[in-house]
Amino acid sequence: MNNKRVSGKVKPDLRKTPYNSSENNESLEREVWKGGNMLYPVPVVLIGVRGKNGEKNLFTVAWTGTICTNPPMVSISVRPERYSYQMLVDTGEFSLNLSNASLARAVDYCGVKSGRDTDKWKATSLTPVDGELIAAPLVGESPISMECKIVEKKVLGSHTIFMAEVLRVHAAKRYMDYKNSFRLDKSNPIVYSHGEYYTLGKKVGSFGYSVKRKKKQ
C-alpha cells in the first residue's frame, strides 16, 4: 500500500487503499439472518393527499425513492389499510414533501396518528399550500415539495407501490445560495433507520471523487 509521510508520521494514501482493506483488524465475519429489509437509512417524507370529496390529509412514508430521471419519477409504498390509501387510488395524485430536523416531531406524529380521527394539519400547525397542477396540498414548511401524478400502482404484498411522475418541484427560497443553487444540506435533512430519526453527518466525498485526478501543481 502507498503511504505518505506527514509531520513525521506515515499517513495512508486513501486514494490507493484497497477497497476491501481490513488493515484496522476489523473482523470480516458476518451474521446471517433470514430474508428481511435492511436497506437503511432511508428518506422520510410527508405525503399530502386530498380525497375526492375535498378532505385533505397528511401522512408519513419512509418507503420512498427515485425511480427514473427522464421522465422524473418517484415511488412511495403504502399499506392498503392506511386512511390515505383510498385517496391515492381515487385521485391518482399526491405531494411529496422532504423533511428536516425542524419537522421531525411532525413527521413522527403524522406517522403514528390516523387521519380517520385526527386533523393532522391542525395538530401539527403545518401549512397546506396549493400546488399548480394537482389538488393535493403541499407542506409550506418543507424545504422541497413535489407535485406527483400516479402513473402506475402495483400490489406487492404488505404494501402497494405507487409510481408517479414529478410534475412540479417547489424549493424553499431560504435555502437558495448566492448562485441561485438549492442547498439541501443547509436545511438539515433527516433520515429514518430502524424506528429512529437522524440528521445527516459530515460530507465524505462527492460524485466521481474516487477516480478524479489530482490537479498538477
Q: What is the pLDDT of residue 6?
A: 47
User: Would 134 be classed as within a structural domain?
Assistant: yes
For 100-148, the pLDDT digits (tens) are: 999 999 999 999 999 999 999 999 999 999 999 999 999 999 999 999 9
User: Would 106 be classed as within a structural domain?
Assistant: yes
User: Would 133 be classed as within a structural domain?
Assistant: yes
User: Would 171 be classed as within a structural domain?
Assistant: yes
Percent of the chain with pLDDT over 70: 88
pLDDT band at residue 10 under the 50/70/90 scheme: low
Q: Residue 68's domain is classified under what CATH number?
A: 2.30.110.10
> Residue 116 is part of which domain span?
42-184
Q: What is the pLDDT of residue 108?
A: 98
User: Would 210 be classed as within a structural domain?
Assistant: no
Per the structure, the count of domains in the chain is 1
For 46-91, the pLDDT digits (tens) are: 999 999 999 999 999 999 999 999 999 999 999 999 999 999 999 9
Picking from 30, 45, 53, 44, the residue whose alpha carbon sits closest to that of residue 94 is 45
Q: 3-state DSSP call for residue 103? A: helix
Q: Residues 70-76: contacts with CB within 8 Å, 24+ apart?
A: 71/165, 71/166, 72/165, 72/166, 73/151, 73/163, 73/164, 73/165, 73/166, 74/146, 74/148, 74/163, 74/164, 74/166, 75/161, 75/162, 75/163, 75/164, 76/45, 76/47, 76/161, 76/162, 76/164
User: Would 205 be classed as within a structural domain?
Assistant: no
- Grid coordinates representing 94 are 399526491
User: Would 2 be classed as within a structural domain?
Assistant: no
